[in-house]
Amino acid sequence: MAVDRLTADSGAGLDLLTMGRVGVDLYPEQIGVPLAEVMTFRKMLGSSPTNVAVAAARLGLSTGVITVVGRDGFGTYVRAALSGFGVRTDHVIEHMHLRTPLAFCEIHPPDHFPLLFYREPMAPDLTTDVSAVDLDAVTAAGIFWTTGTGLTVEPSRSATLAALEARSGRAHTIHDLDHRPSLWPQLDEARRWQREALRHATVVVGNRTEVAVVVDDTDPRAAANALLDLGPSLAIVKLGPEGVLAATRDEVR
């Protein structure tokens, strides 16, 4: 991987360490119109692992992100925005050739927000390999969070699985299914590798659609039980405006 590693301490002992997808989201300032009719956009830090780290930092936790950005203006923006929110960037690496990904959004209230990803030919975060992951920081973090996007291709897939395996089933090892159909070549591959990740996770998070990819069931309770059978001790199924369903072997809420 053509990267320039930044020198910093390991970040061991973080309350939360996330790993995976990063990018810049461009949100339209015109609401309720298709992308072709949008005239102006608002730039924001984006992608689920990054958003989780920012949200936790806002709650006063020490947080960090393992990811790769491009050596470009958007990569500079990502690092500055993370730091501005109080998220440590010790493990944010710069790729010397690939560009920081973009995602364009449409906003159709109340709950329709289609995304158009610009992550070709390869997103920098998908070039993360095992050698770029500080496994000591992974195992020391109070909460470790991965996403399904990191499983789509190598070397990110092996790096993500190695990080999950390093946790050895430690509590608060969270895998967010984060299923983006356009990023997977085949649905069967998504199911295979998501299930492999869940062998090492203690918590799984996904919406109805994402969960159905893994367990082929859209009923929240049945799907949660099927997810628990794959290894996690807590399954969280997001239900949109209806809230969430959380299930363990002994309790459902």
Confidence (pLDDT) at 110 = 87
pLDDT of residue 2: 44
- What does each C-alpha distance from 236 to 161, 164, 224, 228 come to in angstroms? 21, 18, 7, 10
Report CA 228 to chain centroid distance, whole Å.
20
pLDDT over 70 (residue 126) = yes
Residue 171 is encoded by which pair of tokens?
């509590």
HSE at residue 40, side-chain half, CA atoms within 13 A, is: 3
Provide the whole-model pTM.
0.91
Residue 4 confidence (pLDDT): 40
What interhelical angle do 73-84 and 48-58 show, nearest 10?
30
What was the pLDDT predicted at 8? 36
Distance of CA 203 to CAs 130, 159, 199, Å? Answer: 22, 19, 10
Task: Using pLDDT thresholds of 50, 70 and 90, give the confidence band for residue 6.
Answer: very low
Q: Does 165 score more than 50 pLDDT?
A: yes
The pLDDT value recorded for residue 171 is 94
Structure tokens at 156: 């990110």
In this prediction, residue 168 has a pLDDT band, given cuts at 50, 70 and 90, of confident
Q: Evaluate if residue 5 carries a pLDDT over 70.
A: no
Percent of the chain with pLDDT over 90: 91
Rounded distance, CA 238 to CA 245, Å? Answer: 6
